[in-house]
Amino acid sequence: MKITSFIAFLVIVLSFTSCIEIIDDISIKNDGSGTLKYTVNLSSSKIKINSILALDSLDGRKVPTIAEIQENILSFKKALEAKSGISNVLLDYNFTDYIFKLQCDFTNVTVLQTALKEVIQEVSKEKNIPELEEIWLNWDGTKMVRSIPEITVKKTKDFKQEDIELMKQGNYTSISRFERTVDKFDNASATLSKNKMAVMIRTNPYALTQNSNIIENTIYLTPIKN
């Protein structure tokens, strides 16, 4: 199985890093266009990450160099920029604190999902990635149904108890923003912003690896005023 340096890096780091913060932030305009912001913050585990990157391999998997990871990040950015309907692609990476940020604008959510799926497949060079068949975002102008792509971190059973406790201290935040007010939503764990134009769900990475459906939500918006 051929896998890129950046994906290999994430697989290794997410398998052996205990504390992580992820912010999944999407803004949808009334016409269905919008902006995606996705941040992975591993700064709390940078000492452990540095020790991993100092190795040649770990558990039979080659540990990529920072130069290889940077090259793959730039390839991902270039491929995403080339997709129709995607614009203003920003991909920031910080190898001191290990903070990675992706931001892009899209013309509609179908374009966004298609572009991300195609780029992941192109960069990874894998023909069959079952997770890419998922539809994690749906918008019909009156409601949005969202989840997250299937989480493939399944090594939590092998973690020591202290590592599991640290995972529970991490955060996964899912934010959905709109141009008009929210009428209601299905997930009881979600909270509504004061202006009623954004919905947030917060959990921890450990809970998410046990149940990836924990942040699934259907959000219903008020009608557009004429």
**What residue type is assigned to position 172 of the chain?**
Y
What are the boundaries of each domain within the chain? 5-221
Under 8 Å between Cβ of 186 and 199: no
Start-to-end Cα distance in the chain: 54
Question: Global pTM?
Answer: 0.84
Residue 2: CB atoms within 10 A of its CB come to 6
pLDDT tens digits, the chain, 226 residues: what are they? 344 555 555 555 555 555 778 899 999 999 999 999 999 888 887 888 888 888 887 777 777 888 888 888 888 899 999 999 999 999 998 989 989 999 999 999 999 999 988 888 887 766 666 556 678 899 999 999 998 765 444 444 455 555 566 667 788 899 999 999 999 999 999 999 999 999 999 988 777 777 778 889 999 999 987 6
Q: What percent of the chain has pLDDT over 90?
A: 42
